[in-house]
Structure 1
C-alpha cells in the first residue's frame, strides 16, 4: 500500500510537470492562467487564523495571503517593509450624492434644504433652487464652475449658521441674496474655492464664523457686495472684482482676530468703493492687505486712518498697487522749532543732560505722534518693532561768549541716553553760536519715544536753541 501511494503521488507530480496549466472545475483553463478555479456554487478558502497566529508565521514569503479572523480582513505580507498589510477596506463610501436637480437634495423643511453633515454633494449642471440651502457641515462641489450652477431667482441661496465647503460652482441670485449666514457660536468654518459669484442682487453677509477662507473667487455683475462681520480669522486669497459690480465690494464690520487679503484685483468704476473698513471695532492680531491691484479710477477705500492721505489704522500692513503703502517700515515724522523762537534750556548741573525746552511743531506723522501734544517728543505707535534712522539739526547760542565751554546734543529713548547719537561742540572765547548735527540708528517698539537733551560743562551758561529739526524714518 505504501508503494502504491508513492506511485500515485509520482504520477500526479509528473502529470503536473507535463501540464503547463491546471484547471479545477474546468478542463479548459484560460490560456493566460497557470491555475483557474471555476465554480458556480463554491468559493475558495485561504488559510484562516487569528492575529497572533498570523504574526507567528515564520519567515512569511512575499505576497503570502491569509484571512485574519480577529480583524475580519485579508492580509498579505510585504517583505520590503517586513510587515502585514490589509488588503482593501472593510467599509464602503456612502457619503456621496450626485445632484442633477433640486429634488436630489434632502427634502426642504420650512423653505430650507438642510444638507447631511460630511456628505459630498456634486452639482451636475444647472440647479434651479426654490428653497435655501443650509450647508450643515457638508461638501458642495462642481466639476466645472462655468457649467455647474446654483440659481435662485429672488431668493437666498445659503442660509443658516453652520459651516461647510463650496468648490467649483457658480452662484447666482438675480434679485436675491447669495449668503445669509450667521454663526452665533463662533465655532464653525466656511471654506470656498474656485467659485464664481455673478449677477446677484446682493452677495450678502457672512457673520460670526471662526474661520472664513475664500480662495480664487470671481465676482461679476453683482448689484451689492459682501459684508464680513465679527469673523475670527478671515482669509481672502485671489479674489477678483470686475468693474461691473456695484455698491461697496467688501465691507468689514465688528471685531476680528486676523484679516488677510492677498493677491487678486478690484477694478472700481461706478461702484461706491472697493473696501469699507470704517466699521471695524478691533483687530486683536494682524490685518494684511498685500499685492491686491486696485484700478479703475473710482473710490478704492473707505477708511478711518488718523493720518492724512492714508486709509487704514495702525493694525494694518498694506502694500498694494493703486493705494498708498501703509506699513510699519514706512513710519515717519518730524518736529521742529519755529526759527523766530529763542528757547533757552535751564542747566542746573554741569555735564548732566536736560531735556531741550521749547514748543515744537509736528509734521508728516505716519504711525508716529507727539504723545498727546508733549513738546520735543516723537512716539512710535506702529505695531511691530523696527529700526529707525534719526536725524537732528540745531542752531545753538550761548548766553555769554566770554569763556570756553562745551555743549552736547543727545538723543534719549524713553528717558534713557542713547550714547551712539550725540553731537558735541566746543565754544571758544568770542564764539556765541554753533551748528549741531546728529545722525544715528535705533530700534523702537510700539509706544517707545525719543527726545533731544542738551548738556554743558558750565551750568552758568545756558544754551539757547534758535533752530531745531528732528526727523525719524
Structure 2
C-alpha cells in the first residue's frame, strides 16, 4: 500500500507540474524526470540480449529503450545497450570489453589484460578464469608468441595454424616443358683428338709398327642424322623459402578482467 501511495503521489505530481523529481523538490526545468540521491544510483533493467538484430527478450524494437545486457553471445557483450527502433547499439566507455585483444610493448599482465602466452587458465584470478570460459577458451590461453592474429575464416575460432616457410614442389612450377635432347635434323660431324700413343704388333714377325703421333682436329663421319642427350642440373638443394615479412616484435594481450 505504501508503494502504491508513493506511485500515485509521483503521478499526481507529474500531472500538476511539468517535471517530476524523485529525491528533489525542484527538478531541473529541462528534465521530465530527475533522480537525486547522495548515496544511490539508477538501476537499469538487467536482461539477456540474444544479438543486436533481435529485439528479444522484448517483443519488438522500441526506439529509445535503454537496458543493461548481462549475456555474452553472438555479437553482444555485457554492457549498456540502447535501441534505435531497428537494432541494439552498445554505449561504449573507456572500459574495455571482455575478450578485447590488442598488441603492446608491455612485458607482463596489467589491469585485467593477460598476455597470450599459452599458460594454464588456473594461473589466472578466479574472475578472469570465469570470463575466459564465457569466451569458450579451453584449459589454456591461446599462444600468440611468434604468430599473427587473423580474423576467423575456415578454421575454428582460437585455433592456431600456418607456417613460416614453404617449399616449392614441381606442381608450383610454371606449366612449361623443357627437353634435354638436341635436334636430330641434318648430318653433322664431331671433332676429336686421336692421342695415338698406343703400340700394336702387326704379327709379321719382322718387327712392330707403332703409331705414337697425336692427331688433333680429327672429324667423325658425317653420315646419318642423330640426336644428343643433355643433362642440365637445377643446382637446387630443396631449401624452404622464408615467407615471414619484416616485423616489429610485440606482445598480444586479451582483456579478461579481474
TM-score, normalized by length of structure 2? Answer: 0.31
Please state which structure has a larger fraction of its residues in strand: 1
Structure possessing the higher radius of gyration over alpha carbons: 2
Structure number with the bigger relative contact order (C-alpha 8 A, sep ≥ 6) is: 2
Please state which structure has a larger fraction of its residues in helix: 2
TM-score, normalized by length of structure 1? Answer: 0.18
